Structure 1
Amino acid sequence: MAGRSAAPGRSVTSRVLSLLDVFDSTSPRLSLSEISERSGTPLTTTHRLLAELADWGALVRRADGRYEIGRKLWDLGLLAPVQMELRQIAAPFMLDLHTTIRDTVHLAVREELSALYVERISGRESVPIVSQVGSRLPLHATGVGKVLLAAAPADVVDRALHSLTRQTPRTVVEPGRLQRELADVRRRGYARTSEEMSPGAASVAVPVQVERGGGTVVVAALGVVVPPHRRDLARLAPVLEVTARGIGRELARTREFR
Structure 2
Amino acid sequence: MEKQNSPTRSVERALDILECFLHKKEMILLEIAERTGLSSSTVLRILNALQEHDFIVKNPQTKKYHLGSKIGWLADMIPSESYDELKKISRPFMAALNEKWNEDIHLFVPDGNSKLCIESVDSTRELRQVVKVGSRHDLLRGAAGKVILSYMDAEDRKKVLDGLAFDEAIFEKVRERGFALSLGEREEGLCGLAVPVIDKNGKLMATISMSGATARFENNLAEKEAEIVRVGKEISARWQNR
Q: Above 0.5 in TM-score?
A: yes
State the shift of 1:102 in Å: 0.4
Correspondence for 2:178: 189
TM-score, with structure 1 as normaliser: 0.67
Distance in 1, Cα, partners of 2:224 & 2:173: 17
CA contact (8 A) 2:139 2:149 kept: no
CA contact (8 A) 1:206 1:237 kept: no
**TM alignment of 1:1-258, pairs within 5 A:** 7-8=5-6, 10-11=8-9, 13-15=11-13, 17-18=15-16, 20-21=18-19, 27=25, 41=42, 67-69=68-70, 73-77=74-78, 79-125=79-125, 127-129=127-129, 131-133=131-133, 134-139=135-140, 141-164=141-164, 174-176=165-167, 179-212=168-201, 216-229=202-215, 230-252=218-240
Distance in 1, Cα, partners of 2:14 & 2:142: 31
Supply the AA of the counterpart residue of 2:124.
R
1:46-71 CA deviation, whole Å, 9 max, x = no partner?
666766x67xxxx599xx9x942256
Distance in 2, Cα, partners of 1:5 & 1:130: 45
Moved more, 113-122 or 149-158: 113-122
TM-score, with structure 2 as normaliser: 0.71
State the shift of 1:182 in Å: 1.6
State the shift of 1:189 in Å: 1.2
Distance in 2, Cα, partners of 1:130 & 1:26: 19
Supply the AA of the counterpart residue of 1:149.
L
Supply the AA of the counterpart residue of 1:252.
Q
Give the SS at the match of 1:193.
Answer: strand
The alignment-based identity, stated in percent, is 22
How many residues are aligned here? Answer: 227
1:27-85 CA deviation, whole Å, 9 max, x = no partner?
49x9xx99x9797556666666766x67xxxx599xx9x942256513432x1543444
1:151-210 CA deviation, whole Å, 9 max, x = no partner?
11111233355543xxxxxxxxx523xx22222112111111211221101111111112
Give the SS at the match of 1:234.
Answer: helix
CA RMSD for the aligned pairs? 3.9
Structure 2 gaps of 5+ residues are 61-66
Larger % of helix: which?
Answer: 2
State the shift of 1:253 in Å: 5.3
CA contact (8 A) 1:130 1:198 kept: no
State the shift of 1:118 in Å: 2.5
Distance in 2, Cα, partners of 1:42 & 1:190: 41
